[in-house]
C-alpha cells in the first residue's frame, strides 16, 4: 500500500485514478513509472517484415512497440496506447519510438543493409503537436538518414479530424522526403475521392478484409477494388494480417504489391529481424 501511495504522485491529473477500475489504476501507475522513472527501459521496438509478393524479398518493416512490464508481464499496444493517449504520455512515448527507429535505420544502413524502409505508427496527438515536423527533422539529421527510409503510418480518422491541417503537415513531410502510408485502410469513414488529393505513398489494407479473403465474396470484392484503386492512384499497396497460403494466393492473383503477416513472420526483436535479413529469408515465389 505504501508503494502504491508513493506511485500515485506520478499520476497527472491525480483525480483520474478515481474513475478507473483497479486493473486500469495499476496499468496507469505502471505506465507512468515505466516512462518517467525507468526511462523506457521496459520498452522495446519490434519489427515485422513487409514482403514484396513478386520478388519474395523483404522491402520494409513496420515498427511495433512492446512493453515488458515487471509487474504486469507483456502488455499489448492495444492496452497501453489508448492509456498513453488519454494521459498525454503518448508524446514522450512516440518521441522515444521515433528516436529508436531512426537510430536503428542508421545501424542497419551502416551494416550494409540498404533499401529497407521502416514504418512508424503515429498517434493523432503526436501528429498534431506543433513541433512534430521539427522532431522528425531532428532525428533524420541526428542519424544522417536518407528520409525516404522512414515511412509514417497515419489512419484515415487522424487525417479527417482536421483535413486541411493534416494535408499541410503531410505535404511538409513529403517535401522532406519522408513517406506516408495510410494504415488500417477501409475501416475509416474517409471518402475515396479524398484519397487522390492526399499526399500519400502507400495504402495498407486492414486485416479485417484480408482474413479469409479468398472465401468471402464481400471481402474479395472489396479487396480487389482497393488494390485496383491503389494501382490507379500509383500507390504502393500492402495487405496486413496475411496468415494463410490461400490469402496470399488471392493477393498474388490480384496483383497486390506486398504483404505483412504471421504467414511470413511475426513482429521480431531487432536482432532477430536482422538475422532474417542476413540469411536472405524470402517468401517463396
* Helix or strand holding residue 70 (H, E): none
Question: Segment 166-225, which members bind Mg ion (CB under 5 A)?
Answer: 183-184
Number of neighbouring beta carbons within 10 Å of residue 206: 21
User: What binding mask, one character per residue, do residues 111-140 give for Mg ion by CB under 5 A, x or -?
Assistant: ----------x-------------------
Are 108 and 146 in contact by the 8 Å Cβ rule? The answer is: no
Residue among 243, 266, 238, 279 at smallest CA distance from 60: 238
User: What binding mask, one character per residue, do residues 48-87 give for ligand C2E by CB under 6 A, x or -?
Assistant: x---------------xx----------xxx--x------
For CA atoms 169, 174, 175, 177, the dihedral sign is: positive
Cα 242 to its chain centre, rounded Å, is 16
Q: Is 243 in the site for ligand C2E (CB under 6 A)?
A: yes
Q: Give the phi and the psi of residue 19 in degrees, each rounded to 5.
A: -95, 5
Stretch that binds ligand C2E, among 170-178, 194-202, 220-228, 236-244 (CB under 6 A): 236-244
Helix, strand, coil in percent for the chain, rounding step 5: 50, 20, 30
Q: Is 183 in the site for ligand C2E (CB under 6 A)?
A: yes
From the list Mg ion, ligand C2E, none, which binds 177 (C-beta under 5 to 8 Å, kind-based)?
A: none
User: What binding mask, one character per residue, do residues 135-164 give for Mg ion by CB under 5 A, x or -?
Assistant: ------------------x-----------
As separate numbers, helices (DSSP H) first and strands (DSSP E) second, the chain gives 13, 10
CA–CA–CA angle 78, 264, 200 (5° rounding): 65
Minimum CB distance to ligand C2E, residue 46 (Å): 7
d(CA 10, CA 33): 7
Minimum CB distance to ligand C2E, residue 180 (Å): 14
User: What binding mask, one character per residue, do residues 5-44 give for ligand C2E by CB under 6 A, x or -?
Assistant: ----------------------------------------
Give the interface with Mg ion as residue ranges (CB under 5 A): 121, 153, 183-184, 240
Give the interface with ligand C2E as residue ranges (CB under 6 A): 48, 64-65, 76-78, 81, 94, 97, 121-123, 153, 183-184, 207, 240-243, 260-262, 267
Amino acid at each position: 500500500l505504501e508503494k502504491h501511495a508513493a506511485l500515485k504522485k506520478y499520476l497527472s491529473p491525480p483525480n483520474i485514478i478515481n474513475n478507473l477500475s483497479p486493473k486500469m489504476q495499476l496499468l496507469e501507475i505502471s505506465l507512468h513509472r515505466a516512462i518517467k522513472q525507468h526511462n523506457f527501459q521496459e520498452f522495446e521496438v519490434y519489427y515485422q517484415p513487409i514482403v514484396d509478393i513478386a520478388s519474395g524479398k523483404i522491402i520494409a518493416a513496420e515498427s511495433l512497440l512492446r512493453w515488458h512490464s515487471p509487474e504486469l508481464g507483456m502488455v499489448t499496444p492495444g492496452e497501453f496506447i489508448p492509456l498513453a493517449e488519454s494521459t498525454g504520455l503518448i508524446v514522450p512515448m512516440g518521441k522515444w519510438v521515433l528516436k529508436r527507429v531512426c537510430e536503428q535505420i542508421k545501424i542497419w544502413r551502416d551494416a550494409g543493409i540498404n533499401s529497407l524502409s521502416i514504418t512508424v505508427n503515429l498517434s493523432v496527438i503526436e501528429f498534431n503537436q506543433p513541433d512534430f515536423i521539427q522532431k522528425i527533422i531532428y532525428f533524420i539529421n541526428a542519424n544522417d538518414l536518407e528520409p525516404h527510409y522512414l515511412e509514417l503510418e497515419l489512419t484515415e480518422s487522424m487525417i479527417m479530424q482536421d483535413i486541411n491541417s493534416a494535408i499541410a503537415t503531410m505535404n511538409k513531410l513529403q517535401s522532406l522526403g519522408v513517406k506516408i502510408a495510410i494504415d488500417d485502410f477501409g475501416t475509416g469513414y474517409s471518402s475515396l475521392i479524398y484519397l487522390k488529393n492526399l499526399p500519400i505513398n502507400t495504402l495498407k489494407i486492414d486485416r479485417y478484409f484480408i482474413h479469409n479473403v479468398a472465401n468471402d465474396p464481400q471481402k474479395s470484392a472489396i479487396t480487389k477494388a482497393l488494390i485496383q484503386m491503389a494501382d490507379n492512384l500509383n500507390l504502393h499497396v500492402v495487405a496486413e494480417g496475411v496468415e494463410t497460403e490461400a490469402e496470399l494466393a488471392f493477393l498474388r492473383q490480384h496483383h497486390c504489391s506486398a504483404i505483412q503477416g504471421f504467414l511470413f513472420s511475426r513482429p521480431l526483436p531487432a536482432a532477430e529481424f536482422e538475422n532474417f535479413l542476413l540469411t536472405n529469408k524470402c517468401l517463396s515465389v
